[in-house]
Chain A
Amino acid sequence: MSHDSRQLIYSHIATERTTDLRTKNNEYVFRVAKKANKHVIKKAVENAFKVKVVNVRTLVVPGKTRRVGRHPEGKTVSWKKAFVRLKDGEVISIFET
């Protein structure tokens, strides 16, 4: 599996909750490729942002059913979310607020 961070990490997620996690736990939240596992995510983040990762938690956000008018139900895509905890004192400055 490729370790190219640009293919694995899609985007940073900025919400009130992630802001909280970052300030309390030094955890950054990303939307990542579904096929990526914790190990490659750790490596990708360390490579891309030059930081030390201590823990990665992941989960798959299920797609939701959506209907448009009377058309049969469809589903939005499911995707993987990763919580990446950095070593104390490390920061990813571009996401810092």
Chain B
Amino acid sequence: MKVEVTELEGLYRELAVEVPQNRFQEELDKELEQLRLRVTLKGFRKGKAPMNMIKSNYGESVKSDVIDKLIKATYPEAISSQTLKVASPPQVTDLKIKDDGSFSYKAKVEVFPDIKKVVFDGIKLTTTDTEASDAEVDEFIETLRDRRAEMREVDRAATADDVVVLDMTKVKDPKLAVEQTDFPETTVDLSHSLTLKEFKEQIPGMKAGEEKDIAVKYADDYSDSRLAGTEITYKARLKSVKEKILPEVDDAFAKAAAEAETVLELRLKIREEIKRQKEESQNRSFKTQIITQMNEKNPVPVPESMIENYLHSVIEDLTRQKAEFKEDEIRKMYRVMGEQTIRWQLLYHQLAEQEKIEVLPSDTEKVIGRMTRQYKITGEQAKEAMLRSNRADDIRESLLEEKVLDLISGRAKKKPEKK
């Protein structure tokens, strides 16, 4: 078998493969003999038909089958004989069959880029302060208090700190944004930060039983896209006013809210939690910073077919979610991202090899440990769950990525964020 490789544009390579006659003949004879034993021709019992009749009846189709088979068989041989790292399925063209049975074909494939050395010095990371301030702890406690507040119905005009129950009817909706017209028994917390400002401004002062038309103008970037930019007028009848009674911050509160013995312990717990969240978000931001900078420092080419695969899976996801989209736009939008993601994958694998980073059993143990704490299961169960979900490879991958990220961020220059 003769194989010749031509480098084409980018990462494309063309393999010209020649398969010799004897190989073809061997395969053809084998195939015909098998067929002979299988088929029933008229006048002959199964497997008793003479070879010539088999040949004249099935010869051509067997021939093309054999060629198909040989292409499939010789292609991997060709690849391994040339030590190519192939990133895409081959496109076979130029199939030429000579009279003596030898044939040649060309296969166009894409290879992984040959990354000589991954550069990762001089990465600059912007750090943020991960310590929790007293103000943040206070704020957290306030939300806890708010969540555990008791409601008590009162007979007075509503104030900005109250919770009100409204019977609402839609009276004007020029764009017909909502189908529903009646909203009975709607509870509105006037002190909540997400409550619409029209309610916050107009309801205080009303008493139970009173009615008012409230025109609400939804912002153009309102989270519910059906409502964004519309103006709807509601007739609101105040049913009841409820006073929010916030619990005192004492040890009992600490125990109920966070299973802490004392208020001090509660504050400590909250501080830890906030810190953990901040660190997590910092790690995430490190990761994006590293990926962007590594992409800039190592502009290796990315196989087109891998980007294509990426875009394909994005589009498939969107289709599954039944989202409306234009394929061209999505392709354009996600192209850069896909290229970066794939380049990063290539880079961190190469870097792991370069720096001899491997996922060790102890790393896997760590993940299992994390799982046992998070889901409150035993190590055995965690292992089993991992095997069952077929995600062991994924986990290994992400561990490797994590280790590479650790290495890079360990050697990066860190600078606090400018405020």
Contacts and interface: CB of A to CB of B under 8 A. Distances in A.
Contacts of A19: 50
Interface in B31-51: 42-45, 48, 50-51
B194 to A, nearest CB: 82
Interface residues of B, number: 9
B50 A97 contact: yes
A35 B50 CA distance: 32
A16 B43 contact: yes
17 contacts: A13-B43, A14-B43, A14-B53, A15-B42, A15-B43, A15-B44, A16-B43, A16-B44, A16-B45, A16-B48, A18-B43, A19-B50, A96-B52, A97-B50, A97-B51, A97-B52, A97-B53
B46 to A, nearest CB: 11
A15 B44 CA distance: 5
Nearest to B56: A97
Given A15-B44, A96-B52, 15 more contacts: A13-B43, A14-B43, A14-B53, A15-B42, A15-B43, A16-B43, A16-B44, A16-B45, A16-B48, A18-B43, A19-B50, A97-B50, A97-B51, A97-B52, A97-B53
Interface of B: 42-45, 48, 50-53
A15 B42 CA distance: 7
Interface in A4-43: 13-16, 18-19
A23 to B, nearest CB: 10
A3 to B, nearest CB: 28
Query: Helix, strand, loop or mixed for chain A's interface?
Result: loop
Query: Helix, strand, loop or mixed for chain B's interface?
Result: loop
Contacts of B53: 14, 97
Contacts of B42: 15
A81 B48 CA distance: 23
Interface string A70-97: 0000000000000000000000000011
A41 B52 CA distance: 26
A37 B248 CA distance: 124
Contacts of A18: 43
* Among all A-B residue pairs, the 10 with the closest Cβ atoms: A15-B43, A97-B50, A97-B52, A16-B44, A16-B48, A14-B43, A19-B50, A97-B53, A15-B44, A16-B45
Nearest to A13: B43
Contacts of B52: 96-97
Interface of A: 13-16, 18-19, 96-97
Contacts of A13: 43
A31 B300 CA distance: 75
A18 B43 CA distance: 9
A83 B53 CA distance: 21
Contacts of B44: 15-16
A13 B44 CA distance: 11
A88 to B, nearest CB: 21
B417 to A, nearest CB: 87
Nearest to B43: A15
Nearest to B44: A16
Nearest to A96: B52
A13 B43 CA distance: 9
A20 to B, nearest CB: 10
A13 B51 CA distance: 16
A24 B52 CA distance: 18
Contacts of A14: 43, 53
B55 to A, nearest CB: 9
A96 B52 CA distance: 8
A14 B52 CA distance: 11
A19 B50 CA distance: 8
B51 to A, nearest CB: 7
A91 to B, nearest CB: 13
Contacts of B48: 16
Nearest to A17: B43
Nearest to A18: B43
Nearest to B55: A97
Nearest to B45: A16
